[in-house]
Amino acid sequence: MHAAEIELEPADVRRLLAAQFPDWAGLPIARVASSGTVNAMFRLGDDLTVRLPFVPWGAEGIRHEAAWLPRLAPALPVRIPAVLAVGEPDDGYPLPWLVLDWIPGGCPEPGSCGPEIAEQLAAFIRALRGVEPDDAPASYRGGALAELDEQVRGCLAELGTPALLPAWESALAAPAWTGPPTWSHADLLPGNLLVDGGALVGVLDFAASGVGDPACDLMPAWSVFTPEGRDAFRAALDADEASWERGRGWALAQAAIALPYYRVTNPGMAEVARAAITAIVTA
């Protein structure tokens, strides 16, 4: 475990609840299995979730979600977490945290979703893009891909995957986004999507969301969808060639950076990265 990480157990959550939201402190608490790299999730009773960062830099994302989830939800056609309470740091836990509603469903396997879910996710992205940017911050992704060039090339060399270099260079050469500031989720990986009965029922983790180049929300084309789903996703979003190239670049960058970092410590994240790399090579 990284030295900066905070150990969290159900007893820690119960102590925080007892001090700040005692009406919920008696409910059953269970850790939710997740490949998340910033936040721990605990199911609270049948209908609630507690979301707590286990790394210090997660605090900013918690504050961001507390401010923006209630503002974004009315505009979106897919359910997102509802903020029910914002917990504050105390002597035993140094970061803010959230109590959210529980959204039933499961995360899809990487590369498993077909055209129906592709069209539903595209509708979500179109709606999010339509939200007025107002005072929204910049998204975690959505700037210039060139800023990642040295890091991505180093990771590709470490992975021994020269076949990906042409795709990366094509993304770098694609015309830049020149449109107005546009909302994006910026982290639409399988672990942040919930599906049930062949339908998209939830989108999670808005810590990276904000305004910038919306092409970053094309990333799931390579990590979430089958080839048929990928085609349907592109058609539903009417993605032009430049946006598609930049979106593939964001998918490649995320996967290339994540795989060497997580392949031993976080098998779930490594599996997502491998799926994206395979799709990029074979598409």
Q: How many CB atoms lie within 10 A of CB 230?
A: 22
Task: Give 41-97 as a DSSP string.
Answer: EEEETTTEEEEEESSTTHHHHHHHHHHHHHHHGGG-SS--PPEEEEE--BTTB-S-E
Distance CA 236, CA 259 (A): 29
* 95 three-class SS: coil
> Can you read off the two tokens belonging to residue 238?
């009417």
Per-residue pLDDT of the chain (283 residues; tens, 9 = 90+): 344 789 999 999 999 999 999 999 999 999 999 888 999 999 999 999 999 999 999 999 999 999 999 999 999 999 999 999 999 999 999 999 999 999 999 999 999 999 999 999 999 999 999 999 989 999 999 899 999 999 999 999 999 988 899 999 999 999 999 998 899 999 999 999 999 999 999 999 999 999 999 999 999 999 999 999 999 999 999 999 999 999 999 999 999 999 999 988 899 999 999 999 999 999 8
The boundaries of every CATH 3.90.1200.10 domain in the chain are 115-282
The boundaries of every CATH 3.30.200.20 domain in the chain are 10-101
Query: Look-up: residue for tokens 């707590």?
Result: 52
Architecture, CATH, for domain 115-282 = Alpha-Beta Complex (3.90)
Judge whether 220 and 86 are in contact, CB under 8 Å: no
| CATH superfamily of this structure's domain 10-101 | Phosphorylase Kinase; domain 1 (3.30.200.20)
* Half-sphere exposure for 117 (CA within 13 Å, toward CB): 29
> Can you read off the two tokens belonging to residue 49?
């979730």
Judge whether 178 and 104 are in contact, CB under 8 Å: no
